[in-house]
Amino acid sequence: MTKRQFGKFITVEGCEGVGKSTQTRLLKEYCQREGVDAYFTREPGGTPVAERIRGLILDGANTGMDAFCELLLYEAARRQHTRELILPLLKSGKTVFCDRYIDSTLAYQGYARGLSGAKIRTLNEWASDGAPIALTLFLDADPVAGFIRKGGADKTDRLEAEGAEFHKRVYEGFLRLAADNPRRVVKIDASGTKEETHGKIVAVLKQKGIF
């Protein structure tokens, strides 16, 4: 099967509290209403094995986790998720939306944790196994405002519970990734209401030929 026969793979990225989960839910409802044959998944997770790894990564009790151990767990979950679910769906011609993917690893473990970007890109390439991303929607909103909007960080979530400086570095990482990949990454102003953000996302997806 040639790459041209693949379905369309769209990733949704952004900081904590920006509304990714809400926007993916609204997109799923839109697809159901409009008869768009699309599958929605998330990272880390998406398959039974990857969801169990997600539990280890995000468990607030695992405060002693080494940064590189964290990275390897993310990549292990991605490998399982991609091989078991994403690639088969794409090969069947289906449109797949994923809440977080490779850019989150670069923003969180690279820019925020300070791990080598080159090593992360190598691991991302291995774990994603050639899954072709057609478009990345970066929901652009300051993480401080995001946490205020959601009523504060979830202290049981190990990543959310990191300090403000950590999340500021994550945001700066996403901004750099968007600037470095303008053909793939589209910035969506997510500072307005959820309905306004949803409308912007649908407009971009139509413009890019996804819908």
Residues 51-86: tens digit of each pLDDT: 999 999 999 889 899 999 999 999 999 999 999 999
Q: Is the pLDDT of residue 163 over 90?
A: no
Query: Which residue, among 183, 188, 190, 191, has the nearest Cα to 204 in the 3D structure?
Result: 188
Q: Is the pLDDT of residue 87 over 90?
A: yes
User: Residue 120 corresponds to which tokens in the numbers above?
Assistant: 């992360």
- Please provide the DSSP assignment of 64-124 as one string: T--HHHHHHHHHHHHHHHIIIIIHHHHHTT-EEEEES-HHHHIIIIIIIT---HHHHHHHH
What local confidence, expressed as pLDDT, does residue 2 receive? 44
Decide which of 3.40.50.150, 3.40.50.10680, 3.40.50.1000, 3.40.50.300 is the CATH code for 3-207: 3.40.50.300
Query: Which residue, among 131, 107, 110, 130, has the nearest Cα to 120 in the 3D structure?
Result: 110
Average pLDDT, the chain: 91
What local confidence, expressed as pLDDT, does residue 68 receive? 97
Q: Is the pLDDT of residue 104 over 60?
A: yes
Q: Is the pLDDT of residue 129 over 80?
A: yes
User: Residue 58 corresponds to which tokens in the numbers above?
Assistant: 């995000």
Domain residue ranges of the chain, discontinuous segments joined by +: 3-207
More confident residue, 164 or 35: 35
